[in-house]
Amino acid sequence: MALDRWIALIILMICLAYGYAAFFTMDATLPPFMQRNPVWPSTFPKILSVSGGLVALSIVLGLEKHTGVGKEPDIEYTRLGDYKIGQALFLLGLMVAYALCLRPVGFLGSTMFFLIAGSVVLGERRFHIIIPVAALASGGIWYLVQEVLGIFLRPWPFFLGV
Amino acid sequence: MLEGILIGLTTAFTGTNLFMVIGGCLIGTFIGMLPGLGPMSIIAIMIPVAISIGDPSAALILLAGVYYGAIFGGSTSSILINAPGVASTVATSFDGYPLARQGKAGKALTVAAIASFCGGTIGAILLMIFAPMLASVALLFHSAEYFALMVVGLSAIAAFAGTGQVGKALLMTFLGLIMATVGEGALFNAPRFTMGIMDLQSGFGFITLAMAMFALPEALYLVLDPARSNNEAGGEIKDLRITRDEAKQIAPVIGRQSIQGFLIGVLPGAGATIASFLGYAVERNIASKEDQEQFGKGSIKGLAAPEAANNAAATGSFVPLLTLGIPGSGTTAILLGALIALNVTPGPRLMIDEPEVFWAVIVSMYIGNLVLLFLNLPLIPYIAKVLAVPRTFLIPFILFFTLMGAYIGQNNATELLILVGFGICATILRFADYPLAPLLIGFILGQMLEDNFSRSMQLEGGIGFILERPMTMGLLAFAVLLVVLPTYRARIRAQGIADGD
């Protein structure tokens, strides 16, 4: 089974779970005064789950015939190994690490680390360029956001106060 | 009216006020390029500055400059790195980014600047002439008509339902609508589908989703396939100017969409987002077959339409603000706050009591547009150079900006994890050739669709409102026509070819 049909199957499952939640779990807790409304909070989800499920099912079963010539995909997912999948996964990991570190480590430290590590992963080795650029960018953005725009961003690690 | 224009011109053409426009445009453009900071947040940030100026005309002129600058800046990031930071520029990235990938980033930015300029200018002229009249028409629009308007907006997804893709486009739309229901329920704001997670109570963030659907998969594709970053032009930026031929092509599009966008912008609550989607949908569906093929792959018509509509709608949203005192969008609501702080009360009496403010706003909007055009056209080659940055630097920065966009909006680190999670899902969906734009369209319009539907059901006491209100009926029929007509036309043409054979 091709990837697009697997995805449709997963979406079908999501629709079923969503539909279960909409049909069986939401209405019982509805306060009486809201029950007099023509549209309940669960009305739209019910419609969506049924129609979404039907469309997903039609893709899973391959009802729609592909009339168009299949255009060359940008990336052939069956040969992911031929691409720089390692770099991509590493960058995704880096983004997760950034999300987890942003608060405790502070904006300046985590941003500099993210930008430097990101460049290094992609094969950049000119450290005398990377480090100043990363420092300048994180400092500049921090100044813009915190000082000019007044949106709080913790600059330093948690143990330095602020 | 002529007298009014003269009042406006004398107010706007003083040294300080011109300086305000230029400064505002520059600030707006540069801050607006950061995804996550749209016109609304930038204006909100600039309000303390504006109020401390003291003179209402000067303050409004500054804010108008910031507003237009921010709209243009937002389109820049959509075109260059496929990262729409504001809902109204999502439609810009549909065709703008493909153009940038073909090495025509300069041209795309030029088209966007010109389309925005024309949209804004035509909007300002219409505002000048029709403001009082339109205000009364806008009040005729009830939630039933808004619901129908959203349905027309949803017809934009037809553009992404290519051959053998109708099911996928529909499925993505439903998924988007489903995601829009997460958070708070219609009308009563009780939490639903949050699975008890506090962070989901306010629903998924729009910027998070936009970044995850557009910017992140694109960045990952650039990582996966290094050859992709050397676009066909080999990183070189060519074709800066548009040719006479292209100008002829986009002129009618801009004309139509400026007027249509303005009319939609006048309706309180509809705003620039709907205007841009509608503009894209309408232009695609009335284009000729050959042009239609180009939509989504780098059509300058497809870029000009949402840009013109977006700016005209932004101008149009001033109609209810200035004539009725009703803020029709988030941005005008903030402007209303600024006006009241400056001791100016917008409303029916504004034109009589303080004509100089009314006319200064209109004239300054026009000047803001003009300044923006002349500031940005020379800057475009430098802005487009962003794409010439080596990929080892560009990609970490794109990723960083997507993260920042999601973080600044909510100030919530969980949002970043959601972003990465959705980004991975979106990349997998792209592998399987699912169109991602319908998901975002569904997500943006879903909430408004549901709210307006339930509101009109409540007001009119049943589904009968569709039959009882001719305007609703007409709009819904228009939506059906927009979807059906192109398919029908294509079929007729296909038959003709078959007969010829």
> What is the count of structural domains for chain B?
1
Would you say B180 and B447 are in contact if contact means Cβ atoms under 8 Å apart? yes
Q: Widest CA span of chain A, in angstroms?
A: 69
Per the prediction, chain A carries an average pLDDT of: 81
Instruction: Tell me whether residues B396 and A115 touch, CB distance under 8 A.
Output: yes
pLDDT at A12: 92
Interface probe with B: pick from A149, A152, A153, A154, most Cβ of B within 10 Å: A149
Q: According to the model, what pLDDT value does residue B233 have?
A: 45
- Angle B152-B156-B158 (CA atoms, 0-180°, nearest 5)? 115
Tell me, what's the pLDDT at B496? 53
Nearest Cβ partner for B164 among A37, A68, A92: A68
The verdict on residue B361 lying in a domain is yes
The complex's ipTM works out to 0.86
Q: Which residues of B touch A56 (CB under 8 A)?
A: 171
pLDDT at B234 over 50: no
Q: Does pLDDT of B14 surpass 80?
A: no
CA neighbor of B209 nearest in space, from B420, B391, B359, B61: B420
Residue-level pLDDT at A16: 92
B412 touches chain A (CB under 8 A): no
Tracing tokens 């639903």 back to the chain, one arrives at B192
* DSSP letter for each residue of B178-243: HHHTSEE-TTT--EES-TT-GGGTT-S-HHHHHIIIIIHHHHHHHHH-GGGTS-TTTT-----SPP
The per-residue pLDDT of chain B, averaged, comes to 78
Contact: A56, B171; criterion CB under 8 Å: yes
Domain assignment present for B159: no
Chain A interface test: which of B431, B434, B491 (most A C-beta within 10 Å): B431
Separation of alpha carbons B276 and B87, rounded Å: 9
Whether B162 and B432 have beta carbons less than 8 Å apart is answered as no
Rounded to an integer, the average pLDDT of B282-308 is: 81
User: Which of A18-27, B14-23, B410-419, B483-492 bottoms out in mean pLDDT, i.e. has the lowest?
Assistant: B483-492
Of A66, A92, A114, the CB nearest to B164: A66
Q: Which of the residues B171, B389, B439 would you substitute to probe the A interface, choosing the one with the greatest number of A C-beta atoms within 10 Å?
A: B171
CB contact under 8 A, A98 and B416: yes
pLDDT of the residue at B112:
87
- Decide if pLDDT at B164 tops 60: no
For chain A, the C-alpha Rg in angstroms (whole number) is 25
Domain containing B83: what range?
2-142+205-413
Residue B500 forms part of a structural domain: no
Tokens 């009042």 correspond to: B7
What's the predicted TM-score (pTM) here? Answer: 0.77
B193 touches chain A (CB under 8 A): yes
Choose between B57 and B491: higher pLDDT.
B57
Q: Number of A:B CB contacts under 8 A?
A: 185
Q: Which of A49, A52, A99 sits opposite B416 (nearest CB)?
A: A99
pLDDT band at residue B232 under the 50/70/90 scheme:
very low
The predicted-structure confidence for B442-487, as pLDDT tens digits, reads as follows: 887 888 888 888 888 888 777 777 777 888 888 888 888 777 766 6
Note whether A91 contacts B399, CB cutoff 8 Å.
Answer: yes
Closest residue of B to A92, CA-based?
Answer: B420
DSSP B67: H
In the block, residue with structure tokens 């006006």: B339
Q: What is the pLDDT of residue B500?
A: 39
Mean pLDDT value of segment B388-415: 80
Query: Is B397 a residue whose pLDDT tops 50?
Result: yes
CB neighbours of B402 closer than 8 A, spacing ≥ 6?
B35, B83, B211, B212, B215, B216, B219, B419, B423
3-state DSSP helix/strand/coil % of chain B, to nearest 5: 80, 0, 20
pLDDT value at B260 more than 80 = yes
Q: How far is A114 from chain B (nearest CA, A)?
A: 8
Any CB–CB contact under 8 A between B138 and chain A? Answer: no
Between chains, do A45 and B181 touch, taking CB under 8 Å as contact? yes
**Which residues on A lie below 8 Å from B390 (Cβ)?**
124
Percent of chain B with pLDDT over 90: 1
Write the residue in A21, A59, A118 that is nearest to B168 by C-beta: A59
Query: Residue B36's closest chain A neighbor by CA?
Result: A145
Helix (H) or strand (E) holding B455: helix B437-460
Q: Where are the beta strands (DSSP E) in B29-188?
A: 183-184
For chain A, report the end-to-end CA distance as a whole number of angstroms: 54
Contact: A44, B186; criterion CB under 8 Å: yes
What dihedral do alpha carbons B396, B414, B404, B192 form, nearest 10°? 120
Strands B183-184 and B191-192: antiparallel
Per-residue pLDDT tens over the stretch B75-98: 888 888 787 767 778 888 888 888
Phi, psi of B193 (to 5 degrees): 55, 25
Whether B408 contacts chain A with CB within 8 A:
yes
Domain boundary assignment for chain A? 3-65, 82-160
B171 contacts chain A (CB < 8 A): yes
Kindly tell me if the per-residue pLDDT of B19 is higher than 60.
yes
Instruction: Give the pLDDT confidence of B107-139 residue by residue, as tens digits.
Output: 888 888 888 888 888 888 888 787 767 666 666
Does any domain span residue B364? yes
Q: How far is B47 from chain A (nearest CA, A)?
A: 11
Section B46-73 average pLDDT: 80
Residue B158 in any domain: the answer is no
Amino acid letter, residue B459? L
| Cβ neighbours of A55 in B, within 8 Å | 167, 170-171, 174
Asked if residue B431 lies in contact with residue B143, where contact means CB atoms within 8 angstroms, the answer is no
Chain A residue numbers touching B458 (CB-CB < 8 A): 37-39
Among candidates B46, B140, B88, which has minimal Cα distance to B315? B88
- In this complex, the residue of A3, A18, A96 whose CB is nearest that of residue B431 is A3
Q: Is B25 left (phi over 0), alpha (psi -120 to 50) or beta?
A: alpha
Model confidence at B499, in pLDDT bands (50, 70, 90)? Answer: very low
Beta bridge partners of residue B191, listed in sequence order? B184
Q: How confident is the model at residue B501 (pLDDT cuts 50, 70, 90)?
A: very low
More confident residue, B239 or B83: B83
Q: What angle do CA B166, B167, B172 make, to 5 degrees?
A: 100
Q: Which residue stretches of chain A have pLDDT < 70?
A: 1, 64-74, 148-149, 160-162
CB contact under 8 A, A55 and B399: no
Is B187 domain-assigned? no
List the single residue in A56, A85, A96 with the smallest CB-CB distance to B420. Answer: A96
Which pLDDT belongs to residue A65?
64
Residues of A in Cβ contact (< 8 Å) with B490: none
Residues 364-393 of chain B whose Cβ lies under 8 A from any Cβ of chain A: 390-393
